[in-house]
């Protein structure tokens, strides 16, 4: 019985502090790296990706990272997207607006059927030139993100049936 108690003591008092130290090191690593501007994790998703996005944000913690969601959801899902994601995220969720400055520890939802670019860590939102052009809104944003933020960018495509996002991911990878 004494050996069992010692093992539990070791696990509780050694492993738990190690996990706390590890989490602190990860946090300070991202704070150190992103002193000027945060990393941006851009997530592209089509109409079937809402559940995956919710699952992704179930595990987010504050790491001085910004998240940007580019989507092809229906208007019904778009209107309640902030409320839906806020239930799953531990960080602030809000809609991106034109000229809005990107901040760390925020999830930004880009407007549907619009072309969004990012320059100097600010969103620039415009209506698409044609309906055909709006089908490639993920590629458009990923490309602008690769140009603006270079190595401080992570691109993710969670769902989709078309090719929107593929060319943009290649640009992010090549920067």
Over residues 102-132, the pLDDT tens digits come to 999 999 999 887 889 999 999 999 887 666 6
Confidence of residue 69 (pLDDT cuts 50, 70, 90): very high
Q: Are 124 and 154 in contact (CB under 8 A)?
A: no
DSSP string for 56-103: HHTT---SSEEEEEEE---HHHHHTHHHHHHTT-SSEEEE--TTPBP-
Which tokens is 38 given?
């945060």
Catalytic residue among 137, 143, 144, 164: 164
- Whether 46 is a known active-site residue: answer yes
153: tokens are 């960018």
Residue 113 tokens, joined: 């059927």
* pLDDT at site 121: 93
Catalytic residue among 46, 66, 143, 144: 46
Q: What is the pTM of this model?
A: 0.75
Q: Which of 72, 89, 143, 144 is catalytic?
A: 72
Annotated catalytic, 98? no
pLDDT band, very low/low/confident/very high, at 4 (cuts 50, 70, 90):
very low
**72 part of the active site:** yes
Predicted pLDDT of residue 133: 63
């Amino acid at each position: 019985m004494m050996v069992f108690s010692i093992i539990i003591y070791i696990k509780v008092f050694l492993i738990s502090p190690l996990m706390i130290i590890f989490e602190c090191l990860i946090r300070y690593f991202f704070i150190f790296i992103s002193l000027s501007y945060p990393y941006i994790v851009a997530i592209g998703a089509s109409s079937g990706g809402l559940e995956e996005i919710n699952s992704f944000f179930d595990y987010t913690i504050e790491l001085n990272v910004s998240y940007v969601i580019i989507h092809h959801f229906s208007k019904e899902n778009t209107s309640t997207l902030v409320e839906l994601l806020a239930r799953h995220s531990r960080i602030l969720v809000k809609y991106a607006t034109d000229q809005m400055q990107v901040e760390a520890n925020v999830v930004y939802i880009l407007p549907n059927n619009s072309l969004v670019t990012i320059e100097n860590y600010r969103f620039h939102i415009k209506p698409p030139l044609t309906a055909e052009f709006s089908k490639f809104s993920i590629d458009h944003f990923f490309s602008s993100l690769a140009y603006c933020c270079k190595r401080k960018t992570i691109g993710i495509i969670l769902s989709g049936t078309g090719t929107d996002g593929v060319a943009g991911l290649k640009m992010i990878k090549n920067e």
